[in-house]
Amino acid sequence: MDRLLVLLSDLQSSFIHFIRIAIFIVMAWIGGLKAFQYEADGIVSFVTNSPFMSFFYKHSADTAVNEKGETVAQYQLHKNPEGKMVAENIKWHKSNGTYVFSYGLGTVIVIIGLLVLLGIWFPKTGLWGGLLTFGMSIITLSFLVTTPEVYVPNLGGDSDTPYFGFPFLSGAGRLVLKDVIMMAGGLLIASDCARKIMNTSDGSN
């Protein structure tokens, strides 16, 4: 057991590098997917309902009447399930600016991931990557407050639905909640970079 404790302690800096690599993989993969139609369509509910991002879309404030006669946000009538192509919906998303925004967001995410990765060799660059990861995670976690789709809806059925609304996270909500880990990782690598920058400055004086 003592050997294991010593090994884990000695490898701490390597584990922090592993966090950097892990964040880069997530950022590069998810950011890269933003260039594809299904992923761009999938973030519309988050962006439309976000006070920080809704202005990027042209139809965020628009409403429409659904098949039940209810007035709902217009985007709800133009959802494309993953793996399904509906030309009318895609046309709406183009007019909404869905794809242009997604391309820009994906580029930003990939860049942040690169900054984090480069922190292995360049602490000042990594510091910005860690802080931006932390900031991005705050915005993502705000979706738990602003986006109805992050909680299980009450769709009815043969009997009353016992679990819906807060705190019963949907698939989308469970993905959002995981950004708590990204937030912690961003702060950890920013702190590690800050320590390295300070040590370098002390050694040069």
- Per-residue pLDDT tens digits of the chain, which is 205 residues long: 889 989 999 999 999 999 999 999 999 999 999 999 999 999 999 999 999 999 999 999 999 999 889 999 999 999 988 888 899 999 999 999 999 999 999 999 999 999 999 999 999 999 999 999 999 999 999 999 999 999 999 887 888 788 999 999 999 999 999 999 999 999 999 999 999 999 987 766 5
Distances in Å between the Cα of 157 and the Cα atoms of 127, 154, 162, 169 are 51, 9, 11, 19
For residue 135, the enclosing domain spans 119-197
- Domain membership of residue 72 (yes or no) is no
CA angle at 187 for the pair 182 and 188, rounded to the nearest 5°: 95
Q: How many domains does the chain have?
A: 1
Q: Under 8 Å CB-to-CB from 65, ≥6 apart: which residues?
A: 71, 72
Would 113 be classed as within a structural domain? no
Inside any domain, residue 123: yes
| Per-residue pLDDT, 160 | 78
204 part of a folded domain: no
Flag whether 103 is in a domain: no
| CA 61 distance to own-chain centroid | 23
Residues in CB range of 128: below 8 A, 6 or more apart = 115
Phi/psi for 65 (5° steps) reads -100, 125
Q: Is residue 152 part of a domain?
A: yes
* pLDDT attached to residue 161: 81
**What is the pLDDT, as a whole number, of residue 84?**
86
Asked, for residue 68, whether it belongs to a domain, the answer is: no
In-domain check, residue 79: no
**Global pTM value:** 0.92
